[in-house]
Amino acid sequence: MIHTYSPLQRLRFRVFPFYLLFFLCCLINSHGQDLNEAILGKWSMVSNGDGFLEATISFNDDHTYQLDRTWPDASKAGVKGGFLLNSESTPATLRMCLGDCNQAGSEWTSMFCIARATGSETLEIYMSDSGDFPGDFPEDPGSKGMYIFKRSE
């Protein structure tokens, strides 16, 4: 028995892939927009690959940040400045500058990172040591430069 489809059913089969593509594009775009909002606030480090005892980072809506870290010998160090988040790239790129990111030469004093929010309470940041944005997150969460934060507000 051969099944024949009505013209309306054939149209649905032809149009469905376009609806699916539209839905996926909207989902991806809204996810990128959400990261711009999701990153804001204060975060406490859960784990890192650099051997710090503890760390906190705050991202503010005026595109400034402050990162405070405690080293294994209990000494503390903090850096602050501006940040640029490009949530349109995959993965999202995060440039954290010492001072203003729009200053000439700020690329020499910037940390080049990628970031992702894994849920509303977890933020992962992978910092490059090469002076360029990493291509992807490492498989090992304990890799050098990998930080996992939980929202602390």
Range of the domain at 95: 36-151
Q: How far apart are CA 81 and CA 121, in angstroms?
A: 23
pLDDT tens for the chain, 153 residues: list them: 666 767 666 655 564 444 434 443 333 443 444 899 999 999 999 988 788 899 999 999 999 999 999 999 999 999 999 999 999 999 999 999 998 998 888 888 899 999 999 888 999 999 998 889 999 999 998 899 999 999 996
State how many domains the chain has.
1
Whether residue 18 lies inside any domain: the answer is no
The alpha helices in 67-145, defined as continuous H runs, are none
The burial class, CB within 10 Å (0-12 / 13-18 / 19+), for 114 is: buried
Whether residue 118 lies inside any domain: the answer is yes
Closest CA relative to residue 132, chosen from 78, 93, 83: 93
Q: For residue 37, report the phi and psi dihedrals to the nearest 5 degrees.
A: -85, -40
Whether residue 26 lies inside any domain: the answer is no
Whether residue 17 lies inside any domain: the answer is no
In this structure, the chain runs to a length of 153
Q: Which helix (H) or strand (E) holds 37?
A: helix 7-38
Whether residue 25 lies inside any domain: the answer is no
Whether residue 9 lies inside any domain: the answer is no
pTM score, whole prediction: 0.74
Q: What is the CATH number of the domain that holds 120?
A: 2.40.128.20
Whether residue 142 lies inside any domain: the answer is yes
Q: How far apart are CA 153 and CA 44, in angstroms?
A: 9
Whether residue 6 lies inside any domain: the answer is no
